[in-house]
Structure 1
Amino acid sequence: MASENGRKNLAFYINPNIETPFNIIEKGGVRSKNINDVRNITFPKKLLLKIVPEDFIDPSAYDRQDYAKIHAGRFVYYDESDQGFYSQIYGYAVLKGSKISVEPLVEITKDKLRASIYYIPNKFGEYPSVEHIRQTFIETKLKGYLGDEKINYQIDDLKKQGKKLGILTIAKGVTPENGQIEHYILLKEVGKKVGKVLEGGRIDYKEQNAFTPVMKGEEILERKPLIQPKDGFDVLGNMIKGVYLGEKIFIPGRNLEESKEKLSFFTAAVNGVISIVDRKVSVDNKVVIRKDINLESGGNLDLEGSVEIYGNVKSGFEVKATGDIIIHGNVEDAVILAGNDIVIDNGVLGKEKARIKAGNNIVIRFAQNTHFYAGKNITVKESMIQCTVFAKNTVIIEGTVVGGEITGKHGVMVKVAGSDKGVETRLTAGVDPEVQRKIKDKEEEKKMLEGDYTEHLEDIKMQFGNQFLIDLKGFLSVLRGSRKIKFIEMLTKLGNLTKEVNRVKNEIVEVRKEIAF
């Protein structure tokens, strides 16, 4: 601070009437900055203000005022020896009241991870050097200096572009690296869908896929390991803490095992469906449903494993499972398909579309207007009315059967069949309609192939005569050019048709073997 002396003046080497470096201009919604007065651009150790005698003359001084007490503000120091106020940094000098300061021409981004400095010449056209910029960085106590080389590179780039002004990046913070808690992520999509989109954009609301079926060996969970976070810092020196990401939403449950091929992966140990209870992810090979099968419950079911339903299956819906299907209610005009057994405690109240098919056995109490197929036995506890039934083994009806067609390959056992009202009831044993259909299809295929063979043979005769049937080798020896190529092509096709006819004949023989008991 200068001492008071009424015979002294203040010599300003800057414009003392400027209080801010930039003038903000807004035009057309766009804000821009203009430097107010380049006289106030200053460098380290540059004179800003001096206390001088009244008779002091210095043409380089910008202004001269009566003496007043002046204080050195930020980035300004006072030299007692010459009573001068000097800049400590490259920046913009301003006088506010009785305090002279130098404002660093530095801008810091909102996230505080980058600091830039305005590259502007002073009134003499002198630009700040890299040393000036480094000194400013040190005095302002910023962190993350880029280094002289990178700053020089930016300055050279401005010069190459012919720019007289610019902004240089001088410091960068370090972004933190987030870690993660050990947690599991579910690799399968679960949850009820609105429905299945059909051709034309229509939606089948019965196909909601309320359960997620999975196969043994399918990947269900992935374990994400614990990763420690790494802290960062901003250009002001503040630490930015890295955080732990991830949520402990899932943990492995029943029928999941660690994959031997892919570490950190858990696979299904059985075929089944995914169940999630209290964060625990399991694969159940038996699903228990304690409500009716309808739109509200999720629509049609198509499951790996078995299903047990404590309710009714409503008309128009389907239940499919690779294992057993156990239903403790009624089945209306619906479709039930099981890879193993089907047990229906009550009955099937079909109309036109009811279909019950099991890979093994079917056990029901009663049924009406329903198609049944069983890979083994069908057992009916009470009655059947107007049903079409086939069992690869035996059909057992412990009550009455009225109308329809009952077929058991190894037998049909019925307590009471038919009625006194003349309703036709057909019971058949010893035949397999499925085998008969296969034989019929194969016979039709053989007939078609034999027709093709005969037609192709006649075509060859028409083009080449009958001589090739008597002496094929001699006939080929006299053929030449394209005619010979054509004959060989037609003869090859005839041979292929012969192979196809023989193949179908052999298949018919094999299918007929299935008829044997």
Structure 2
Amino acid sequence: MLKDKLLLNQETNNIELHMQLSRLQEADLDSIVATLSKSRYASSLFDNNQLHQALTKAIEAKSDPALVIIGKASDAELTIHIEDGGMIAVAELRPARGGKSLSHTDIVRIFAKAGIKHGLNPRAVDILSEHSKKNSSARKIRCTVAKATPPIFGKDGKLEQLTPTLKDRVLRPQSAGVGKVDPRDFGAIISVSEGSPLLRRTPAIQGKDGITVTGNVIPAPPVQDNLLEAADGADLKDGDENLLVATRLGIPVLTDTGMKVVDTLELDSVDNRSGHIEYLGNVVVKNDVAESMRIKVGGDVLIMGNIEGCIIEAEGDITIEKGAYGHLNENNISSCQLSARGDVVATMAQNAGITAGKSIHIKKQALHCTLSAADSVFIGLQTPNEGTLIGGHIYVGKGLYCGELGAPAGVSTAINLSHAYDLAMLELEQSRERLATEQEAQRELSAELNHIKEQQISPELQVQLDMCQSFLRDQKTTTEACEFGVQTANIRLSRVAESVEVIVSKNAFSGLEFSLSDQWALSTSRDYGPSKIFYSGNSLQLEPYTR
């Protein structure tokens, strides 16, 4: 084949073989194919079957000299894909097959055109340039060439409680000796003296923004900080703005932003002789609260006996050392209603309606109650909790923790995990509404600006133009802030959904109905052992619980 011609047609990029017809007719086609596979255009040739067909057709055409198109040359091609919202840049490279490879300059230019500004692998240019060269064995490759810098999550601030409250007194029975605990002995009433430390604040640590491969900022999720403010009977310690101390003798009471120290009203009992109680501070009742009585306080309530069919409201915590009992009317509303901005603690609860701004702790058993807690409901003092909850309606923001849930007879028990989710969804909807309002205002300003520009600009009109441009810049800033607010609300909603859980440490019976918002539900038609119910994969799921 030394007298034959093998060349690249620059206009068509076809690989052409020129041979005398007589030589082609006399030659062994397998020998020709084998020789071609060793040529400089080997990477651009058709496969062997196609080569045989092309050579055979040339012989049949009887053109002299014969011209056979035996392959197609192509230049190296590099395509960049920005994926995962700018978190990675992926390169797809098809190496040169008889055509031009890519130089370092070519690859850098392609990266720049794709908008890659951050996180580029320093070896990516060398690797791609080398792989783009003519190579009969080279194949199309796909590789990650740039990675974003993810945001660094900060840490929420927290308030560390340094002294127990009336609620803690009931939750922590006193030791009766080595290895013994007397569940009826809760110790003396909690009090603090002047100068006693109450709360310590640990400030929040801000996160650090990330950067996409295209250079855009990825905002770090916002952190929640805690205010620590002086309140009645408490103040910040001199020289330490993160430590709250008592300024007088009294009972410590948790508030939303710290702790206060209040005087306490002590009563033997609440009945017809005492009348209804309304007091700004704390109230301690040493015995029972009689049926149909009402107590309303601005601090905590500690009742050392039972309550039945009464109404108690507290700005702080409600703590009942024994039981809370009620009766249901024809509308299934209990005669026993407890409402606290803080926690509610009781040993037993039956047919009671309990609402807590924080958590509900029932030490032993809750039967057919309506329990609503912004945070969680705990049935049992152990860890994991081993108390029993049977029947009723439970509405929580984070979790429900108990030993047994429901009853072997399949008593209907409804657990709604939507308290915090509903609030987060409301926040998201309000953020979207604000964004829509600001976007509409921005569109109106843009339309007004375009209308002004279409006119012949006079000195008076120039003033309007300048003002409109200034207003539009300010409006864009406001709109961007609202967009960030929507993103933050979306993150918060996802976090709330992923944080809800129900932990049953012993038995979860049939007849349980779990729900999260109006979108997800789960029910049990048989009995289970230790179980965990949680949100994952856009659904509520139940799986065995392992301690």
Pick the TM interval, shorter chain.
0.3 to 0.5
With the length of structure 1 as denominator, give the TM-score of the two structures. 0.37
Q: TM-score, normalised by structure 2?
A: 0.35
Larger radius of gyration: 1
**Per residue, is there more helix in 1 or in 2?**
2
